[in-house]
Structure 1
Amino acid sequence: MPLPHDIVKFHEPPVPEGQSPYVPGAGPSLQLEIAEWNDAWPGQFQLLAQKIEEALGWRALVIEHVGSTSVPDLPAKPIIDIDLIVADPNDEAAYVPALERAGFELRVREPWWFGHRVLRYSEPACHLHVFGYDSPEVIKHRIFRDWLRTNTDDRVLYADTKREAAALSRAAGEHSMQYNARKEIVIKKIYRRAFIATGLLKD
């Protein structure tokens, strides 16, 4: 179980020299369209979660709907973000082939960042984020989701930030990582308020 100081820290390790987080043929997305909340998104998550469970069985330790599509009334890129916890994300043979047979495609490999992998599913569109059980990232994602679900002011602030960042990035011809960077300051401010409220951080 991660310690509180690991949960509140933003782990941003650099990409090791000579390596890329993207598997051959993959790269950051240019899809920066923000859609208004769609009440079909929770059902799409349930469909995808069932596919993951059928593919992995007990190897899927936790399957969580995270990201903006998990927060009612929040606009989002229409891509379902899912956190999947497995025993060892670096042991790709234990889960990647089974997920590929279910229609998922490995796109990102970041062993230097808690073993993070990303697999993509096309319809409904999904980014499946794979971490180990000891990763603080999955706890952070749940805190952020639950905070936005119940705190209207921060949900509105984040919605406005997302729309502005997407518009600026589209105008500049940027990709998804640059769009994410435009949101970073506001995201960290929201996280700080959530961490203080949960007792993980002192005011």
Structure 2
Amino acid sequence: MATFAEITRHHDPDPDENPWVHRPPAPAPVRIVPYDPDWPRRYRDLAARIRTALGPAALDLEHVGSTSVAGLAAKDVIDIDLTVADPRAEHTYVPPLERLGYVLTIREPSFHEHRCLTLAEPRVNLHVYGPDCPEAIRHRLFRDWLRTHPDDRERYQKAKLAAVPGGGTVMDYNARKQQTIRDIYDRMFRAAGML
């Protein structure tokens, strides 16, 4: 079971680790669109296909990220957290997901053994973690906080929109909104008595 200290710690991957399984994607402009009420249905359809493909290897699936928060503008990409027994055992989940069209793009041993598979259509980032992973817990807590705290949801949306004009990669965009995210995490953790 993850401790409060593990959950509240901002953990970054090893900067010397090359996470790309093949090569980094070409820079593409980040486009934020208004909330789409179809996103939850899209997630349910994707999750059903993943569960069918993986069977008992899929311990849990969660719709996370901005598309999981009603009313929040987002990139038109569904983020899903998949929990498996051991992300390092790629043979247990990657081949069935590849048959669905997913491509293993990121492998980050230094970041909770995180793996990310992408789907081109519809666009999906499928994040793979092990049981009780602090990062997956953080994703769920952040989603649920934004769903119930409209002021922080609005603050986060403004930060996202302000981060777009800088250009560069998605990682550059993420870096520009990171301080707002960490400020919200701090409020959330303090409200939950975790700090």
TM-score per shorter chain, which class?
Answer: over 0.9
The 8 Å contact of residues 81 and 126 in structure 1, kept in 2 or not, is answered as yes
Q: Give runs of ≥4 in structure 1 deviating > 6 Å.
A: none
Instruction: Find the counterpart in structure 2 of residue 24 from structure 1.
Output: 22
CA distance in 2 between counterparts of 1:147 and 1:108 reads 27
2:113 to 108, 112, 115: 115
Q: CA RMSD in A?
A: 1.2
Q: What pairs with 1:2-41 in structure 2 (closer than 5 Å)?
A: 2-16=2-16, 19-27=17-25, 30-41=28-39
Letter in 2 for 1:56: L
Identity across aligned pairs (percent)? 47
Give CA deviations for 1:139-187 in whole Å, capped at 9, x if unaligned: 10001000000101000000011001012x23xxx10001000001000
Aligned pair partner of 1:179 in 169, 173, 186:
173
Q: What's the CA shift string for 1:125-147, capped at 9, x where partnerless?
A: 10000001131001100010000
> Normalised by the size of structure 1, how large is the TM-score?
0.93
State the TM-score, normalized to the length of structure 2: 0.96
Residue 45 of structure 1: aligned partner: 43
Please give the alpha-carbon distance, in whole angstroms, between the structure 2 residues aligned to 1:181 and 1:81. Answer: 18
The C-alpha deviation readout for 1:52-99, integer Å capped at 9, x for no partner, is 101101110010000000000000000000000000001111110111
Contact 1:105/1:120 (8 A) holds in 2: yes
CA distance in 1 between partners of 2:191 and 2:137 (Å): 15
Structure 1: give runs of 5+ residues left out of the alignment: none
1:142/1:197 CA distance change after superposition, 3 Å: same
Deviation of 1:51 (Å): 1.1
Length, aligned pairs only? 195
